[in-house]
Amino acid sequence: MSLAFIPSPHTGTLDLGPLTIHMYGLMLLLAIAACIWLTGVRWVRRGGDWDLVLKVAVWGVAAGIVGARAYHDITSWDEVSSPKWKGIFAVWEGGLGVWGGILLGCLVGAVVVRREGVRVRDMMDAVAPGLLLAQGIGRWGNWWNQELYGKPTDLPWGLKIDPEHRVAGYENDATFHPTFLYEFVYDLIGVGLLLLLDRRFRFRPPALFALYVSYYTVGRFFEELLRIDPAHHFLGLRLNAWVSLVVFAVSTVFFVWWQFLRGGEEGPRRVRRREPEGPAMAIPKGRVRPSR
């Protein structure tokens, strides 16, 4: 074992008297809060209001958690704890697939935005940096659970894993690549790049969202090459590596076509505030007193 390493917490819970806090869940809450904050700031600057952001957050987050857990249960059924009927809901034990979470969360969020009479593509570009920020923060939950780490390494920043959390076949190795930290740093850099590019260039919504997807999938592909947790393999690559390649290709082609080749579409525009519905309250003439 290397003389220098990153320690891992020996427990993933924090006991405060009768209250037990699952740190994995707490990291998810912090990630959600960060996404809502950054999205809200960007949305208000574009002429929108916080009310819509909060509505999208309530429905999108709930759907995202369901989608993320469903993706994990479907693609990693062997990792679901027994009894299965209970294990499929054990989110606090880890096991959330980002692909299912982003997909279902965005679909439900889009329905909410559309029902409010706002262009979905405008909200997609507003939320893109926030989603990447949330993904980076959420990875700290893997550190608390000592899961989803990479191959063994003697580098000074190797992550020490307790014997009971080591993947079968690596029982004699103590330090591993901290893939949670790699993704956290990569995602933070990506947030900065997206914000910078959005200020310097005029993107046709949802081009920035497509750029966010392309950026994330590049890093995720190389992360999958490091990870050693159990996964389905096809033609020598992990399932999520193939998903990253396919999603990257689709999002990149869409970005180039939408931003550079497709004509007749304006750039980002100010969000139109919805007028209150229903008849205005009538005030009898002569009943209004001048302010003093």
Q: What is the pLDDT of residues 28-63, one digit of tens each?
A: 999 999 999 999 999 999 999 999 999 999 999 999
pLDDT score at 91 = 66
Mean local confidence (pLDDT), 151-155: 95
> Would you place residue 278 in the very low, low, confident or very high pLDDT band (cuts 50, 70, 90)?
very low
> Would you place residue 157 in the very low, low, confident or very high pLDDT band (cuts 50, 70, 90)?
very high
Asked whether the predicted pLDDT for residue 77 surpasses 50, the reply is: yes
Cα gap 172→61, rounded to integer Å = 40
Cα gap 47→61, rounded to integer Å = 23
Higher pLDDT, 131 or 277: 131
Asked whether the predicted pLDDT for residue 246 surpasses 80, the reply is: yes
* Amino acid (1-letter code) at residue 109: G
pLDDT score at 277 = 42
> Would you place residue 83 in the very low, low, confident or very high pLDDT band (cuts 50, 70, 90)?
confident
Beta carbons within 8 Å of 163's beta carbon, 6+ residues apart: 171
pLDDT score at 197 = 97
Decide if 184 contacts 137 (C-beta within 8 A): yes
- Report whether the peptide linkage leading into residue 279 is cis, meaning its omega lies within 30 degrees of zero: no
pLDDT score at 140 = 96
pTM: 0.86
Asked whether the predicted pLDDT for residue 292 surpasses 80, the reply is: no
Mean local confidence (pLDDT), 245-261: 96
Mean local confidence (pLDDT), 164-185: 96
**Tens digit of each residue's pLDDT (9 = 90 or more) over 97-128:** 888 889 999 999 999 999 999 999 999 999 99
Rounded to 10 degrees, what is the CA torsion of 56, 57, 58, 64?
A: 100
Mean local confidence (pLDDT), 277-283: 43
Asked whether the predicted pLDDT for residue 290 surpasses 60, the reply is: no
The DSSP code for 4 is S
Count Cβ neighbours within 10 Å for each residue of 256-290 and write b for 16 or more, e otherwise.
Answer: eebbeeeeeeeebeebeeeeeeeeeeeeeeeeeee
pLDDT score at 268 = 61
Cross-strand bridge partners of residue 160: 175
pLDDT score at 280 = 43
Cα gap 289→265, rounded to integer Å = 50
